[in-house]
Amino acid sequence: MAVLVTGGAGYIGSHTCIELLNAGEDIVVIDNFYNSKPRAIELIKEITGRDFAFYENDCCDESALDRIFAENFITEVIHFAGYKAVGESCLKPVMYYENNLQSTISLLKVMQKYGCKKLVFSSSATVYGIPAKVPVTEKMKLSAINPYGSTKLIIENMCRELYASDKEWSIALLRYFNPIGAHESGKIGEDPNGIPNNLMPLILRAASGKMATLSVFGNDYPTPDGTCVRDYIHVVDLALGHVAAIKSVRKETGCPAYNLGTGKGYSVLEIINAFEKVNGVKIPYVIAARRPGDAAECYSNPDLAKKKLGWTAERGIEQMCRDSWNYIKNNA
Ligand code: WQD
């Protein structure tokens, strides 16, 4: 019996594989290395001391998925595989729709064929669009404001309708806020292929001199210091949320959504200041124009995950900044 982890070589996927193995689970991983590297698979085995089957395949390839289910007794699936860059999705919407939707459709068809009806899906706070108020709860209005977010919302709706058609399904939709940080070993962390879009990878580039200055996108928002506020969550806390969700889909059917966040908001300048203080490095930055589509504030109410999954984020912003920098220093 094993949990299939799609996209298991990626940033959140690899950290989740480690916590699943540490929790005694058996796993099987599929990844096509579009936004990850083969080394991640070796490091997961090195860090945990445990082995597992790995398939270098694309989740859009239904025959490859069928082979995995034929060769392994897959009892649950965590579906991370998908393109995730908001900016890229605005430039290449059809590529995002094709990949993110087709991979999920292929996966669900093969799961149905093999009678595997327990799924944890990697959703995103982006399905809330620009929230009308904060903190954000799971009951709030859903709306997509970019093609990436649209794919996540469409897949959530697909899952809700699948459950409505067959009540044997157990699906947990996990809405991530802003994952940052790295494993305490410093051996794995956020290592995107290409140019990053998110704040922390860009802070790390500025801190390591790979980028001259960081642009702070706007300081005229209606927030305490004028810069945008987000709910940053340590990637290991996020990984542990998936371990809790796997236990949950084993116990009850349904298709609930859960916010995986800390419930606390930090501004861009607060993150920069925390990073500088914890790591003793200076982050050269300039105030630049607002980035289109940014919400002034977006942070979670994570109470439902605490109540139903028995999960809460435990790592604070200092540890997120320390672990992020530790990974860069260990892999310079
Ligand atoms: C955070 C804040 C920027 C870069 C996105 C996706 C979301 C999820 C997480 C996948 C914002 C500011 C950033 C920079 C800056 N991804 N910033 N200078 O936009 O909250 O969420 O990533 O699920 O779906 O939407 O994260 O890290 O891009 O930005 O000032 O060079 O940092 O304006 O306020 P975001 P982010």
Tens of pLDDT, residue by residue over 88-144, are 999 999 999 999 999 999 999 999 999 999 999 999 999 999 999 999 999 999 999
Q: Mean pLDDT over residues 273-293, rounded?
A: 97
Say what angle helices 62-71 and 93-113 make with each other, to 10 degrees. 30
Strands 266-267 and 229-230: antiparallel
How many Å apart are CA 1 and CA 316, to the nearest integer?
35
Ligand 1 pocket mutation, candidates 198, 230, 235, criterion most atoms within 8 A of CB = 198
- List Cβ neighbours of 274 (8 Å cut-off, separation of 6 or more): 266, 317, 318, 321
Q: Is the pLDDT of residue 196 over 90?
A: no
- Pocket of ligand 1 contains residue 322 by CB under 6 Å: no
Say how many Å lie between the CA of residue 29 and the centre of ligand 1. 28
Single-letter amino acid, residue 211 = M
| 149 Cα nearest atom in ligand 1 | 24
Say how many Å lie between the CA of residue 275 and the centre of ligand 1. 16
Positive or negative: CA dihedral 189, 6, 171, 75: negative
Take atom 18 of ligand 1 and give the residue whose Cα is closest.
Answer: 216
Q: Which of 176, 175, 170 is nearest to 247 (CA)?
A: 170
Q: Which residues are catalytic?
A: 148
| 126 Cα nearest atom in ligand 1 | 24
Q: Mean pLDDT over residues 291-302, rounded?
A: 96
Single-letter amino acid, residue 288 = A
**Distances in whole angstroms, Cα of residue 254 to Cα of each of 15, 103, 250, 279:** 26, 22, 11, 44
Q: Is the pLDDT of residue 192 over 80?
A: no
Q: Is the pLDDT of residue 321 over 80?
A: yes
Rounded to 5°, angle at Cα 236 from 230 and 241? 85
Structural domains in the chain?
2-180+232-261 (3.40.50.720)
End-to-end Cα spacing for the chain: 38
Tokens standing for 218?
């706007």
Tokens standing for 327?
């990974």
How many Å apart are CA 163 and CA 166, to the nearest integer?
5
Task: Count CB neighbours of 276 within 10 A.
Answer: 15
Q: Mean pLDDT over residues 266-279, rounded?
A: 98
Take atom 21 of ligand 1 and give the residue whose Cα is closest.
Answer: 178
| 146 Cα nearest atom in ligand 1 | 25
Contact 167, 117 (CB under 8 A): no
Tokens standing for 81?
């595989």
What is the reported pLDDT for 308?
98
Ligand 1 pocket mutation, candidates 291, 297, 317, 324, criterion most atoms within 8 A of CB = 291
- Pocket of ligand 1 contains residue 124 by CB under 6 Å: yes
Take atom 7 of ligand 1 and give the residue whose Cα is closest.
Answer: 126
Contact 216, 287 (CB under 8 A): yes
| 271 Cα nearest atom in ligand 1 | 32
Model confidence band, residue 329 (pLDDT cutoffs 50, 70, 90) = very high
How many Å apart are CA 209 and CA 232, to the nearest integer?
23
pLDDT digits 0-9 by tens, 206-250: 999 999 999 999 999 999 999 999 999 999 999 999 999 999 999
Q: Is the pLDDT of residue 191 over 90?
A: no
pLDDT digits 0-9 by tens, 138-183: 999 999 999 999 999 999 999 999 999 999 999 999 999 999 999 9
pTM: 0.97
Model confidence band, residue 267 (pLDDT cutoffs 50, 70, 90) = very high
Say how many Å lie between the CA of residue 116 and the centre of ligand 1. 35
Strands 232-234 and 178-180: parallel
